[in-house]
Amino acid sequence: MIWHLTNGKRHGKRSDTLSEFDRYVFENIVEKVIIGGYDEDGNKDPVQLTFVYKTGLKTT
């Protein structure tokens, strides 16, 4: 499954994958990335990534 940054929907289409990273687009969409967090049981999860977008949306 591919997570679309633009609309927050999951898609199963292979053609939705990015062929290369676009730093300009990333820097204009993402405000910050938080490394580490807690899982649903409250346990520390050091590999969890949370993206905070400039729109205020957060995805983990």
Domain ranges of the chain: 2-59
Q: Does residue 34 surpass a pLDDT of 90?
A: yes
| pLDDT value of position 1 | 37
Q: What's the pLDDT band for 31 if we cut at 50, 70, 90? A: very high
| pLDDT value of position 18 | 73
Q: Does residue 42 surpass a pLDDT of 50?
A: yes
Q: Enumerate residues 6+ apart whose C-beta is below 8 A from 1.
A: 10, 11, 12
**36-58 burial: b if 16+ Cβ within 10 Å, else e:** eeeeeeeeeeeeeeebeeeeeee
| pLDDT value of position 38 | 95
pTM reported for the whole predicted model = 0.64
